[in-house]
Amino acid sequence: MTGADGRRVGMLLFLASIGFITVVDTTAKQLSAELHAIQIVWGYFLGIFLIVATYLAWRGWRRNPLRTARAPLHAVRSAFLVASIASLFVGLTYLPIAEATMIGFMAPLFIVVLSGPILGERVDRHRWLAVLIGLAGVVVIVRPGGGIAHWAAIMPLLGALAFALYQVMTRVLARTESTETTLFYTAAGGLFWTSVLTPFVWVTPSLPHWGAFLFIGALGAAAHLCLIKAFEAAQASLLAPLNYSKLVWATLAGYVVFGDLPGLNTVAGCALIVASGLYVLLSERRRPRANGP
Long-range own/partner contacts, residues 90-98 (CB < 8 A, 24 or more apart): 90/152, 90/155, 91/152, 91/153, 91/155, 91/156, 91/159, 92/156, 93/152, 94/150, 94/152, 95/148, 95/150, 95/152, 95/153, 95/156, 98/142, 98/143, 98/144, 98/145
**Can you give the pLDDT at residue 262?**
66
Do residues 156 and 95 make contact, with C-beta atoms less than 8 angstroms apart? yes
Do residues 234 and 270 make contact, with C-beta atoms less than 8 angstroms apart? no
Q: Is 180 helix (H, G, I), strand (E, B) or coil?
A: helix
Q: Nearest 5°: phi and psi at 121?
A: -80, 150
Q: Running DSSP on this structure, what letter comes out for residue 260? A: P
Q: What is the CA radius of gyration of the chain?
A: 19
Residue 146 backbone zone (phi > 0: left; psi -120 to 50: alpha; other: beta): left
Tens digit of pLDDT at every position of the chain (293 positions): 556 777 888 889 998 998 888 888 788 877 877 888 889 889 999 999 998 888 888 876 666 767 777 888 899 999 998 888 777 777 766 765 555 666 667 667 677 777 767 767 676 777 778 778 877 877 776 665 544 456 676 777 788 888 888 888 888 887 788 878 888 888 899 999 999 989 999 999 999 999 999 999 999 889 888 888 888 888 776 787 787 777 777 777 777 776 766 677 767 877 787 777 677 666 655 665 444 44
**Can you give the pLDDT at residue 57?**
81
Q: How far is CA 265 from CA 102, 117, 136, 147, 272, in A?
A: 14, 36, 12, 20, 11
Work out the angle at residue 15's Cα, subtended by the Cα atoms of residues 90 and 142, and round it to the nearest 5 degrees: 45
Do residues 203 and 35 make contact, with C-beta atoms less than 8 angstroms apart? yes
d(CA 80, CA 193): 10
Whether pTM exceeds 0.75 = no
Give me the residue spans of the domains in the chain: 3-285
Do residues 90 and 152 make contact, with C-beta atoms less than 8 angstroms apart? yes
Residue 61 backbone zone (phi > 0: left; psi -120 to 50: alpha; other: beta): left
